[in-house]
Amino acid sequence: MIKVRQIKVDVKEDSDSKLKEKLLKKLNIEESHLIDFKIVKKSIDARDKSNVFYVYELNINLDNEDIILKKNKSSDICKTIEEKYQNPVMGNLELKERPVVVGSGPSGLFCALLLAENGYKPLVIERGEKIEERVKSVEKFWEDNTLNKNSNVCFGEGGAGTFSDGKLNTLVGDSNCRIRKVFEEFVECGAPQDILYINKPHIGTNILRSVIVNLRNKIISLGGEFLFNTTLTDIKYNNNKIESIIVNDKEEIKTSILILALGHSAKDTITMLYNHGINMSSKPFAVGIRIQHSQDMINKSQYGDYANYLPAASYKLTYTTSKNRGVYSFCMCPGGYVVNSTCEEEHLIINGMSNHERDSGNSNSAIVVTVSENDFGKNPMDALEYQRKLESASYKACNGKIPTQLLKDYYDNKVSTTLGSIKPMFKGDYAFSNINEILPSYINESIKEALLEFDKKIKGFAMDDAIISCVESRTSSAIRIERSGNYETNIKGIYPIGEGAGYSGGITTSAVDGIKVAEKIIERYSNNLLQ
């Protein structure tokens, strides 16, 4: 097999036939020599707005590979092999009870999947509902503000990422093809095929819902089990080793392997673990607002005259303020919605969400400011309380509706009274408020300074009638549950994983972290007693 890089196709001419034509030309061969080809990577090069093109990397099979390699000395053409994920080698320690996975977000699901594929029959417990019921609870909340505190945008099957853009891009390296495995499992369960090769893959919340159901069913078919509406409320341990857990304050489940895939909103569970002496630390995170623009404006800024030929554009912006605060865009949702993601009574948080088609007409992203222990203290519980205070203030500002303001009024420190040219795209009710009175002054000052700089990169970003809302406070976990080289806590047999434990950010890295921890368990324990 041969890998061919840097095949460029004008986006206005993009097609399979044009791609093949460019490939044959690059190799200087006749079509009769080409057996087949597969797209490995596809990205957009829009550095020159007058000449925007797709850049492909292909794996190809030829009937005369050695001859072609001798003729072509370009670094863009080389021999390659298709690598595959390799299962870990099983250990030999006895495991009498099946592993218990707490949480069915990406880290929990993929940890459970690998354990199930290797015969460990994991039990997955989830405080929220299965996706079919969860969607109904979320939609009811958006309609009338009736909150199911255990099954909402943050809690329930699939985790918080289920109601998001479903972005899969990551800067993490792919050792042992773990990312490839995650993407292939998603495709097998119904995700679009193109996530295997496009540069910024995403699934979209509408498709992700059915993908999660299929992933659950696959785990069950391999011997796993799911218990929904089941909350971890206590743990029991002896000689510094886990022995059992208590769920729903009453039922005891014995286990010597407890995998904590909690997500970053399970503050009650995190507090319980902290009170049991599990080592934790606070970590920097970021808080701020969400800003909405016309998607058409973003497309034209990013792609120029090629905007009509390309998918909805995204952006990534960063800035360091004059007071050395980091400000950046986060979880940018092309063609998306600003979502009321509340999971605690009388507290309000927001997030962004897109369907696969990204066709709402608006873009939105969080504009967030880094905060650290200098802002909230060294104790990890202080970090959680810092978030809760902001979320409480956001709830009180508009009695549970999303606090919203036009950007000019934000700078002028006054409540907006009307909208401008942008039609707001929300999931959940919104109301006008003065965000200056909700967020701390150092957050507001940092955002205002950064937005003016971002406007220099994307013309119109700081337009008067851009719509801002708050509070975006769950960009990442505020704490880290400490773990050893074997991924265990100071209480043996407990394995914290994923975003809530402070070891990942986003769907892909969370899934990969779940796989890594499952590998450690498999390498240590035998499944013989579970058969």
**Residues 251 and 369 both lie in one domain:** no
Structure tokens at 205: 């919340």
Q: Judge if 346 and 457 occupy the same domain.
A: yes
Check whether residue 201 and residue 315 sit in a common domain.
no
Model pTM score: 0.95
Residue 458 · residue 318 · CB < 8 Å? no
pLDDT digits (tens, 9 = 90+) for 295-348: 999 999 999 999 999 999 999 999 999 999 999 999 999 999 999 999 999 999
Question: What's the confidence (pLDDT) of residue 82?
Answer: 84
In a domain, 138, yes or no: yes
In this structure, the answer to whether residues 106 and 210 fall within a common structural domain is yes
Please indicate, yes or no, whether residues 490 and 386 belong to a single structural domain of this protein. no
Residues 241, 76: Cα–Cα separation, whole Å: 53
The answer to the question of residue 228 being in a domain is yes
Q: Which of 19, 50, 79 is the last residue of a domain?
A: 79
Q: What pLDDT score was predicted for residue 528?
A: 85
Residue 89 lies in a domain: no
> For position 331, what pLDDT does the model report?
94
Task: List the domain range (segments joined by +) for residue 271.
Answer: 100-280+484-530
Give the whole-angstrom CA distance, residue 511 versus residue 506. Answer: 9
41 vs 38, 195, 361, CA distance in Å?
9, 10, 28
Write down the pLDDT at residue 74.
84
Phi, psi for 280 (deg, rounded to 5): -140, 160
**Is 95 within a domain?**
no
* Whether residue 302 sits in one domain with residue 262: no
Q: Structural domain tally of the chain?
A: 3
Q: Where are the alpha helices (DSSP H) in 222-361?
A: 267-275, 295-303
Query: Is residue 297, in this structure, part of any structural domain at all?
Result: yes
Domain for residue 439, yes or no?
A: yes
Judgement on whether residues 488 and 365 belong to the same structural domain of the protein: no
Which CATH number do you get for residue 57?
3.30.70.2700
Q: Could you tell me if 371 and 494 lie in one domain? A: no
23 is written with which tokens? Answer: 């490939």
Mean pLDDT of 422-449: 98
Q: Are residues 133 and 262 in the same domain?
A: yes
380 and 282 in contact (C-beta within 8 Å)? Answer: yes
Q: Are residues 291 and 403 in the same domain?
A: yes
